[in-house]
Structure 1
Amino acid sequence: MEQRISFVTLAVADLAASTRFYAGGLGWRPELEVPGEVVMFAAGERLVLSLWDRAAFEAETGGPTTRGPGLVPVVLSHNVETPALVDAVLRLAADAGAQVGGARDREWGGYSGYFADPDGLRWEVAWNPGPIGLRVVPGTDTTPRA
């Protein structure tokens, strides 16, 4: 098996609200929409973010979803080229209705902050000046390929 992820699939409580947040608020363009079921966005060269209506997700995967108190133990990250862009993306998310935690300098040498989408799923917006951080930002990859 190749070492890569092709889709990130999120089961959402209100597909229309999540679509408005990602498409209308954050400005992402849907690649595929099946009303009431799923919306898919190209999230990278070979990566798709898939938002599934929770009931359709459960039918597709064959099992119920569970939610309890606290945070979902998953964070999606969006790395950018500069600390100023971290602040700009967090403002965009706030304008789209996200709950936003302020950005700050991190002990690992970067700068990041978090926002939550309509289902409370957390996104980190980060500037990471190290090699692995640069590898995921278009146009800054300095990692030699084998």
Structure 2
Amino acid sequence: MDQRISFVTLAVADIDATRRFYVDGLGWRPELDVPGEVIMFKAGEHLVLSLWDRAHFAEEVGEPTMPSPSAIAPITIAHNLATKEAVDAVLSTARRAGADPVHDAVERDWGGYTGYFGDPDGYRWEIAYNPGDIGQLVLPD
């Protein structure tokens, strides 16, 4: 098996609210948009983020065990950037898009600068500047 990930699929409660957040709020362009079912975005050179209506997800994959509404899902999605200023700009865009919560970026002990926002289903996005080798590995050319 190749060492790579092709799709990340997340079950969402309200596909229309998810579309408004990602498309209208964050300005992402869908590669595939099936109303009431799924919306997919190219998220990297060979990576797709698939946001799938929870009922359709359950039909194929099985019923998701979601944490309580006040709990944080045990996963983060990271978006790495080349500068601290770019991190602040993305967090500002997320705030305008209606992200809740939005945690402003702070300097981390390991040398990076990161903040977080939650999408309509509470999935946490880490917005990061990582000056180390592993951080540079994920930046586009």
Query: Do they superpose with TM above 0.5?
Result: yes
TM-score of the pair, normalised by structure 2: 0.96
- Which of 134, 137, 140 is the aligned partner of 1:138? 140
- Between the aligned partners of 1:51 and 1:12, the Cα distance in structure 2 is 6
Q: How far did 1:60 drift?
A: 1.7
For 1:31, the aligned partner's letter is E
Aligned to 1:93: 94
Aligned to 1:112: 114
Greater Cα offset, 89-98 or 63-72 = 63-72
Aligned to 1:126: 128
Q: How far did 1:67 drift?
A: 1.9
* 1:80-113 Cα distance to aligned partner (Å, 9 max, x none): 0100000000000000000201110000101000
Partner of 1:8: helix, strand, or coil? strand
Q: How far did 1:68 drift?
A: 2.5
Aligned to 2:17: 17
Does 2:49 align with 1:49?
yes
- Between the aligned partners of 1:105 and 1:68, the Cα distance in structure 2 is 29
For 2:40, the aligned partner's letter is M
Aligned to 1:65: 64
State the percentage of identical aligned residues.
62
| Structure 2 residues not aligned, in runs of 5+ | none
- Between the aligned partners of 2:33 and 2:86, the Cα distance in structure 1 is 29
TM-score of the pair, normalised by structure 1: 0.93
Aligned to 2:78: 77
| Structure 1 residues not aligned, in runs of 5+ | 140-146
Aligned to 1:143: none
- Structure 1 segments of 4+ aligned residues over 4 angstroms from their partners: none
Greater Cα offset, 8-17 or 68-77 = 68-77
**CA RMSD after TM alignment:** 0.7
Q: How far did 1:75 drift?
A: 0.2
Aligned to 1:144: none
Instruction: State how many pairs are aligned.
Output: 138
